[in-house]
Amino acid sequence: MRNISRAELREASVEQLNGICERLREEIFRTVSANGGHLSSNLGAVELTVALHRVFNFPHDKLVFDVGHQCYTHKLLSDRAGLFHTLRKEGGISGFPKRNESPYDCYGAGHAGTAISAALGIAKARDLRKENFSVIALVGDGSFQNGLIFEALNSLAILKTNILIILNDNGMSISPTEGATQEILVDIKEGTHDAKLFEQFGLKYIGGVNGNEFESLLPALEEAKSCLEKGSVLLHVSTRKGLGYPFSENAPTETHGFGPKPIAHTEYPNVLGEELIRLAEQDRRVVVITAAMTDNLGLRPFFERFPERAFDVGICEEHACVLAAALAAGGMRPYFAIYSTFLQRAFDEIIHDVCGQNLPVTFCIDHAGITGPDGETHQGVFDLSYLSFIPNLTVGIPKNTGELRGMLRMGMTMDGPLAIRYPRLGEDGPVTAVQKGKFEILHSTISDIIVFAAGERCIKLARDIRESLRGEVDFTLVNARFLRPLDWELLASRKEKYVVTLEDNAAIGGLGDAIARFYRGSGRILRCFGYADAFIPHGEPESLEEKYGLSREAIAACLREFHARG
Amino acid sequence: MRNISRAELREASVEQLNGICERLREEIFRTVSANGGHLSSNLGAVELTVALHRVFNFPHDKLVFDVGHQCYTHKLLSDRAGLFHTLRKEGGISGFPKRNESPYDCYGAGHAGTAISAALGIAKARDLRKENFSVIALVGDGSFQNGLIFEALNSLAILKTNILIILNDNGMSISPTEGATQEILVDIKEGTHDAKLFEQFGLKYIGGVNGNEFESLLPALEEAKSCLEKGSVLLHVSTRKGLGYPFSENAPTETHGFGPKPIAHTEYPNVLGEELIRLAEQDRRVVVITAAMTDNLGLRPFFERFPERAFDVGICEEHACVLAAALAAGGMRPYFAIYSTFLQRAFDEIIHDVCGQNLPVTFCIDHAGITGPDGETHQGVFDLSYLSFIPNLTVGIPKNTGELRGMLRMGMTMDGPLAIRYPRLGEDGPVTAVQKGKFEILHSTISDIIVFAAGERCIKLARDIRESLRGEVDFTLVNARFLRPLDWELLASRKEKYVVTLEDNAAIGGLGDAIARFYRGSGRILRCFGYADAFIPHGEPESLEEKYGLSREAIAACLREFHARG
């Protein structure tokens, strides 16, 4: 698609703008069909983004996206149309705003709730530097539940600066938005409630805007722009998620984000859903908590089967974690399912509420490891590091879905917290009873080398390398399925001089460091493979794994070297 | 003080209740004067807590404290009167609610904003188990700014359970509360604003209650209790922080929390405040951000000198962190000052907003290490662990206030983020220019042993031990003042066979692990001293340090052993 200039947008008639939107939708649909990505949210925001690029002057003015997954039209309109076919491809443009990609991306994102705080910071810096431009935060209604948004709204009065907040309200988070905030938004839209909620926070409210119709959108944006001179403004815009493609309009949850290829392997989320239903059938204490990820985590069947024991609290990871802790304090057995990277939001609550009180919450941590095309903000490569030092916590790393089942069952018998981290895709395996802190020897041989591998990807990697070195080097292979506690007995009993560890996590602070700590002073020679000390961008998982620290060649070379040293 | 039974409270006249309150205040004042602790917030909440213990039946009913620092009267009324003199003493009762201390403490706390989520979880568990009791969350107005509170309020509609939220409004966080929420609360109290904010969230609002007068308080609590059968209730109670002791009433900020002894050493907070003023005078880009800790962090003089460049955003650590990132993105040089344990709340934002975008934010992390009498939730023993694996981040550990100054100055020249962690109390030192990632050799000798110590306490410990081993064992002593990056050049150049590390942080994931990682495969023998894998309770810092991993004897024994092995 060719670039479209701001001059062109400014001169276009509404009919011409609609024509531009049609072309943008086609481009987005074509690219997402080929490359994967966020479809329905981007389709819904086309007119809104076009109108913003017409009314405001980017990059002089600053557009801050919340989450950022709805930025495709913005990228197409900001000198990246020619690169759009590379969306989410390694070396191509990111599916999220990134400061180092374009001056039009003034602030990056990937997680929810940051846009208003970020807009306030940029606006305050502008004021202090006596500069003059508009700052706009574009926030979906799903993010409006997030506590960070509320903290930022509370700060408007303190910071005394002017920003435009656009609430892009499609009634959907990833799943349909629920909760008090959403009910208030619906009431406001339907006119059964006035907009006091926002005015109470010192915001001028402009509502009743159809965000898919330029006739409604353009005057509203012009009005907002002129009000901005006097104070901060909230522009409440209704859009239709998935607009323009009937399948996407009718199935916005399914088309929120999707990959380019059909999924071949058994998925961990399906197994999670199945197994939690099984546990809930056996024990009435089982409850499930998620933060707006019911479908992605495989929990829809559980929510349908046990609606009274299933809680989707919206994009509120911190609240979800405290709620889980308190349900456990109240005698229940909560399973809190979440992506690895989003659990970072509840880090303090893991420590302060769950582990500090030694409560039997089971964390089901999906999307661990390199997840690929979503890039830096979605890689699950820090969880073993940030869970490694929390007292009372058990951390399990299943080698397949069968071990996931075993660990989920183990959660029922724990007298303290358990975290289980696993990738999205994986192989099926027989249900495996797992004992806390016990490793599994997968291959035993007489050798000076022992390899500890954690999780499905690394065990597969170790097996592949063993295969490729057949007849040359052999080693004992251990499924190191617990980071905490380690299998001290097994570790102490092994006599191998050379120890290699493999983990699908940052090399700093994870399994390698833990095993090295155990062997400290023992005279063993260790080499620990994990990810580099870098933010890992978007790309193909296999390629990124190779490039960022789990290189087959490097691991094989290490094994050969150890073998040669003998 | 003797225990006071619920029967006694129920039978007492208002006059007698006031008499009880007088005795409670005396006991609190006497104990806090001797042991340190939170004075003004507890003095303000005496009548409210007495009324709660009269109207409700604890521990059958459940009282959840937010932060928990205002729980003294509750402890005095729940079978712990006889132990109250041990408040905050090692082995004595905690200054915060703790589940393992009493069945009356149904949920622990220490950080802000968790109470409503916790009350909801306990209430939901009650419903699912078909039990019958009231759940009450007691929340200060300072906490009401925290995003977690908002997330929980949003969840009321989803969870469909009934709780009583008591908003204890004294117009103060630690410092006076500011921001939109506070303005709304003031308007509601003064009757110039209706209580729609709460009703919008589905809460029955009961207000206009003087929380220091039983005539107002008791009927309001009875009304709230009866309304609770139909839905959740918010009871808005005004109290006077510090009530009963004129000095405390007039200086609630100074008497929010204090230690039993006058402070002898130079404090890091004072130096922080001084140095930031110096930097701000030289460079207009310097801005300072804090989350409701202006005074405790030594920033009051800065706020007075540069009000337009100083932002106290209330108890909103996440927002504070994103704001800092965005101010940096806007060309400023933000210094975000915060306690070690509270920074855990902004863990995701450190990664996602600051380090992920490589923005030059300087984190000034106070209260690092064991802080003592506040206990588990206030020990700053995880920061080196949770900062160790974040790409782009530089982490400095000054050995005295002079090095803190040097590192703060270094922050102005950084092209990425910097975290500086330091204890509260410490020794003055000459201003020291510090180069990123460069250690300092403090004592050089010909020996097979080298000791890397980080931070003032550990360097002092190493020096003391060296002194005690004089004539027996000597070692080279290095000020390991950067966790990230390590001084690779120095590390590579050292030839000592035995390496000892000392850090005032959890032994898992900190400096010891980092140096061990560097020396992996080198054949050196390492012993790393840091804190045990446990939550460290309240007590005397020196004693806790000894007990939880930095034992002088153990370190000396290790050095002797290494010396003997030669």
> A498-549: per-residue pLDDT in tens?
999 999 999 999 999 999 999 998 889 999 999 999 999 999 999 999 999 9
Q: Which of B89, B345, B399, B484 is catalytic?
A: B345
Listed in order, the ranges of chain A carrying CATH 3.40.50.970 are: 6-250, 266-426
CATH 3.40.190.10 fits A440-565, yes or no: no
Catalytic residue positions of A?
241, 317, 345
Reported in sequence order, the residue ranges of B95-247 that DSSP labels E, i.e. its strands, are 135-140, 164-169, 204-210, 233-238
The token pair that represents A84 in the structure block: 């759009």
Q: What is the pLDDT of residue A2?
A: 86
pLDDT reading at A173 higher than 70: no
Q: What is the pLDDT of residue A75?
A: 98
Is B278 tagged catalytic? no
Confidence class for position A132, pLDDT limits 50, 70, 90 = very high
If you average pLDDT over every residue of chain B, what do you get? 94
Among A117, A318, A376, the residue with its CB nearest the CB of B326 is A117
Spatial CA neighbour of A24 closest among A71, A90, A94, A92? A71
Q: What is the pLDDT of residue A96?
A: 98
pLDDT tens profile A254-298: 777 666 554 545 689 999 999 999 999 999 999 999 999 999 999
The token pair that represents B121 in the structure block: 């979880």
CATH 3.40.50.970 fits B6-246, yes or no: yes
pLDDT tens profile B522-531: 889 999 999 9
Q: What is the pLDDT of residue A206?
A: 95
Give percent of chain A with pLDDT exceeding 90. 86
Mutate to test the interface with B, among A159, A319, A355 (most CBs of B within 10 A): A319
Give A-chain residues touching B232 at CB under 8 angstroms: none
pTM for this entry: 0.97
Nearest Cα residue in chain B from A537? B356
Average pLDDT over residues B27-41: 95
Nearest Cα residue in chain B from A193? B200
Q: Is A316 on the interface with B (CB under 8 A)?
A: yes
Q: Is B130 on the interface with A (CB under 8 A)?
A: no
Listed in order, the ranges of chain B carrying CATH 3.40.50.970 are: 6-246, 266-426
Average pLDDT over residues B330-345: 98
pLDDT reading at A223 higher than 70: yes
pLDDT tens profile B256-266: 766 655 454 56
Average pLDDT over residues B199-218: 94
Tell me the ipTM for this assembly: 0.97
Alpha helices, DSSP H only, in A36-169? Answer: 40-44, 46-55, 72-76, 115-128, 147-159
Lowest mean pLDDT among A198-212, B131-145, B354-368: A198-212
Q: What is the pLDDT of residue A481?
A: 98
Query: Domain B266-426 belongs to what topology?
Result: Rossmann fold (3.40.50)
pLDDT reading at B366 higher than 70: yes
Q: Is B7 on the interface with A (CB under 8 A)?
A: no
Residues near A89 by beta carbon (within 8 Å), at least 6 away in sequence: A35, A373, A538, A539
d(CA A517, CA A500): 13
Confidence class for position B175, pLDDT limits 50, 70, 90 = low
Greatest C-alpha distance within chain B: 79
Q: Between A28 and A266, where is the model more confident? A: A28
The one-letter amino acid code at B559 reads L
Residues near B28 by beta carbon (within 8 Å), at least 6 away in sequence: B39, B42, B43, B46, B72, B73, B76
Confidence class for position A164, pLDDT limits 50, 70, 90 = very high
pLDDT tens profile B61-104: 999 999 999 999 999 999 899 999 999 999 999 999 999 999 99
Spatial CA neighbour of A124 closest among B180, B329, B297, B305? B329
The token pair that represents B88 in the structure block: 């905050």
pLDDT reading at A434 higher than 90: yes
pLDDT reading at B188 higher than 90: no
Mutate to test the interface with B, among A148, A160, A390, A533 (most CBs of B within 10 A): A148
Average pLDDT over residues B31-38: 95
Three-class secondary structure of residue B62 per DSSP: strand
The answer to whether the peptide bond before residue A59 is cis (omega within 30 degrees of 0) is: yes
Confidence class for position A85, pLDDT limits 50, 70, 90 = very high
- Judge: B180–A353 Cβ closer than 8 Å, yes or no: no
Confidence class for position A192, pLDDT limits 50, 70, 90 = low
Lowest mean pLDDT among A125-134, A255-264, B79-88, B177-186: A255-264
Spatial CA neighbour of A139 closest among A227, A250, A233, A75? A233
pLDDT reading at A200 higher than 90: no
Q: What is the pLDDT of residue B242?
A: 85
d(CA A303, CA A505): 31
Q: What is the pLDDT of residue B184?
A: 83
Q: What is the pLDDT of residue B191?
A: 74
Q: What is the pLDDT of residue A566?
A: 83
The label of the residue with tokens 């962190």 reads B321
Instruction: Tell which A residues from 99 to 118 touch B, by Cβ distance under 8 Å.
Output: 99, 106-111, 113-114, 117-118
Q: What is the pLDDT of residue B157?
A: 83
Average pLDDT over residues A463-478: 97
Is B317 tagged catalytic? yes
Listed in order, the ranges of chain B carrying CATH 3.40.50.920 are: 440-565
Give percent of chain A with pLDDT exceeding 70. 96
Give B-chain residues touching A118 at CB under 8 angstroms: 322-323, 325-326, 329, 353
Q: What is the pLDDT of residue A188?
A: 81
Q: What is the pLDDT of residue A243?
A: 87
d(CA A366, CA A254): 18
- Judge: A388–B509 Cβ closer than 8 Å, yes or no: yes
The token pair that represents A477 in the structure block: 């292979």
pLDDT reading at B192 higher than 90: no
Average pLDDT over residues B358-362: 98
Can you spell out the DSSP letters for B457-486?
HHHHHHHHHHHHTTTT---EEEE--EEES-
- Judge: B348–A353 Cβ closer than 8 Å, yes or no: no
Instruction: Tell which B residues from 348 to 367 touch A, by Cβ distance under 8 Å.
Output: 348-349, 351-353, 355-357
Q: Between B253 and B372, where is the model more confident? A: B372
pLDDT reading at B429 higher than 90: no
Q: What CATH number does the domain located at A6-250 have?
A: 3.40.50.970
The C-alpha of A496 sits at a distance from chain B's nearest C-alpha, in angstroms, of 14
Average pLDDT over residues A467-485: 97
pLDDT reading at B432 higher than 80: yes
